[in-house]
Amino acid sequence: MPTIIYYFTGTGNSLKCARDIAGRLGRTTLVPMQAVRDKKVFPEADCIGLVFPVYAWGLPYAVKRFIKRLSGKNKKRYIFAVATSGGRVAGALVLARKKLRARGLRLSAGFSVVMPTNMILMHETSEEKQKMLFESMKVKVSEIILAVKSREFRKVETGSLSDRILRTGIIYRFASPIFSQMDRLFRTDQSCTGCGLCSRVCPTHNIEMRNGIPKWKHCCEMCLSCLNLCPNKALQCGKMTEGKERYKNPYVDVKDLMYR
């Protein structure tokens, strides 16, 4: 049976993971969630995958919006979710299960994959550690493939109880509503050339170029694609990113992260 994997990605980690899973499953179509952001989703496949990053120990708004548009007619389809994170999945997959259940759908299995973080405001990942994480990702993808091919039902993977209560239940709950406004901290420095790449890689079309200068429209996902993918490192978030290395998944081309 063919499979459809819907993915959301900022700097390529979830796309890399989705591609690796699709390549080994075979007969799988990859669809960015951004491509169906304003449409009802009626997938014909009996197996559906959702691949997305963990933001603030919870779900990106783009993922929650996507699930709300997902048809609940075929309740027998096998649905699996893969959450990529910089280290803590916390209760992100539990939230995904809850959102799907509200649509009358069952999350059959949920997997956590640790990958290098792109949240350079707080953390950076050395090249050596990146290599280690990509190797461990291959092992985890093999586990996911076995489970999905056999249509195995599994409990979703979670962090500790304290992670789920403190990080997802409290921090995510109160922090996520202000994400859309956090682009007010973004700015360009003197190295900005007005190339417009930041606008083209923004998954929510949140950046408009005005006279060669990016302007944020305050519907931000905090995916940090604009900041990390700027070729001149000209975008900054306050003073938190000055002098820091940017991150893009090395197995994904920038052109694959453009949405217009």
CB-based contact 174:130 (threshold 8 Å): no
pLDDT of 167 > 80? The answer is yes
Q: What is the mean pLDDT of the chain?
A: 93
pLDDT of 74 > 80? The answer is no
Q: Answer whether CATH 3.40.718.10 is correct for domain 179-257.
A: no
Nearest C-alpha neighbor of 90 from the set 15, 151, 157: 157
Q: Where are the domains of the chain?
A: 3-173, 179-257
Retrieve residue 44's tokens. 């014909």
CB within 8 Å of 167: residues ≥ 6 apart: 56, 57, 88, 90, 91, 159
Give the Cα separation of 256 and 12 in Å (integer).
8
How would residue 225 be classed by pLDDT, with cut points 50, 70 and 90?
very high
Give the residue-averaged pLDDT of 254-258: 95
pLDDT of 16 > 90? The answer is yes
Q: State residue 61 phi and psi, 5-degree precision.
A: -60, -35
Give the pLDDT confidence score for residue 194 in this predicted structure: 96
CATH number of 3-173: 3.40.50.360
Give the pLDDT confidence score for residue 1 in this predicted structure: 60
pLDDT of 246 > 70? The answer is yes
CB-based contact 236:190 (threshold 8 Å): no
Q: Which residue has the higher pLDDT, 76 or 46?
A: 46
Which of helix, strand or coil describes residue 93? helix
Burial of 212 (0-12, 13-18, 19+ CB in 10 A): exposed
% of the chain residues with pLDDT over 90? 82
Give the pLDDT confidence score for residue 81 in this predicted structure: 98
Give the Cα separation of 201 and 71 in Å (integer).
28
Give the Cα separation of 117 and 223 in Å (integer).
11
How would residue 60 be classed by pLDDT, with cut points 50, 70 and 90?
very high
